[in-house]
Structure 1
Amino acid sequence: MPDPSLPYATHLDIKFPALATIDVAALAAACTDRWYNQTLCRVNDAVVRLGVMTGEYHWHRHVADDEFFFVLDGTFLVDLEDRTVDLRRWEGLVVPRGVLHRTRAPGRAVVLMVETAAIVPTGDADE
Structure 2
Amino acid sequence: MSTDSFPYSTHLNVLYSFGEVIDVPALVAANGHPWYNQTLCQVDQSVVRLGIVQGEYHWHKHDAQDEFFYVVSGRFLIDLEDQVVDLAPGQAFVVHKGLLHRPRAPEKTVILMVEAAGIVPTGDT
Aligned to 2:65: 65
Aligned to 2:53: 53
Q: How many residues align?
A: 125
Letter in 1 for 2:110: V
Q: Normalization by structure 2: what TM-score?
A: 0.98
Percentage of matched positions with identical amino acids: 57
* Alpha-carbon shift at residue 39 of structure 1 (Å): 0.1
* Alpha-carbon shift at residue 3 of structure 1 (Å): 2.5
**In 1, distance between residues paired with 2:2 and 2:16?**
20
Letter in 1 for 2:81: E
**In 2, distance between residues paired with 1:2 and 1:18?**
28
Aligned to 1:96: 96
**In 2, distance between residues paired with 1:20 and 1:2?**
29
Maintained 8 Å contact 1:47/1:117: yes
Maintained 8 Å contact 1:40/1:49: yes
Deviations 1:63-100 (A, max 9, x none): 00000000000000000000000000000000000000
User: Is 1:10 matched with 2:10?
Assistant: yes
Letter in 2 for 1:9: S
User: Is 1:20 matched with 2:20?
Assistant: yes
**In 1, distance between residues paired with 2:52 and 2:16?**
18
Deviations 1:9-67 (A, max 9, x none): 00000000011000001101111100000000000000000000010000000000000
**In 2, distance between residues paired with 1:110 and 1:24?**
9
Maintained 8 Å contact 1:2/1:121: no
**In 2, distance between residues paired with 1:10 and 1:2?**
10
Partner secondary structure for residue 28 of structure 1: helix
User: Is 1:75 matched with 2:69?
Assistant: no
Q: Normalization by structure 1: what TM-score?
A: 0.96
Maintained 8 Å contact 2:80/2:101: yes
Deviations 1:100-121 (A, max 9, x none): 0000000000000000001000
Structure 1 outlier segments of 4+, above 2 Å: none
> What do you get for the CA RMSD once the two structures are aligned?
0.8
